[in-house]
Structure 1
Amino acid sequence: MTGHLLGGAGGLESVVTVLALHHQKCPPTINIFDQDPQCDLDYCANTARDMKMDVAIKNNFGFGGTNGSLVFKRAP
């Protein structure tokens, strides 16, 4: 977990996304404690875990309109 990176958030998110693909480990979504049992989304709540991933999408929304979306694909 980091503090707010302002316009640098997208760069760090890209690094974390590529490392997640490389190590095949899903980073956690933190502070999720009361999930709706009727919602079947897999949040990877609060702890990282091994997960087979070939493609990852990341979105970042920084102050001042520094927004971006990227799709990364694992190399064969």
Structure 2
Amino acid sequence: NLAPPTINLDNPGPGCDLNYVPHHAQARSIQHALSNSFGFGGTNGSLVFSQLD
């Protein structure tokens, strides 16, 4: 399990205490992932991927 990096993140917002995974990938125990897609005319879709035990 690997969280991909957020490249070019040099100045994250001071009021948001999150791990943005800046600049380098991090090993993580990832159970769920969300993929959003947005299109013209209101065509939107979301997929949730879950790891099975």
Common fold: TM-score over 0.5: yes
The structure having more radius of gyration, on CA atoms, is 2
Distance 1:67 1:28 in 2: 25
- Where does residue 52 of structure 2 map in the other structure? 75
Q: Which residue of 2 aligns with 1:42?
A: 19
CA distance in 2, matches of 1:30, 1:68: 25
Aligned length: 52
Name the structure 2 match of 1:56: 33
Task: List alignment gaps of at least 5 residues for structure 1.
Answer: 1-23
SS at structure 2 position matched to 1:43: coil
- TM-score (structure 2 length as normaliser): 0.73
Q: Comparing both structures, which one devotes a greater share of its residues to helix?
A: 1
Map Cα deviations across residues 29-71 of structure 1 (whole Å, 9 max, x no partner): 2211112344201111121110111111121234x35532110
Backbone CA RMSD of aligned residues: 1.7
Flag structure 2 segments of 5+ consecutive residues without an equivalent. none
Identity over aligned pairs, percent: 44
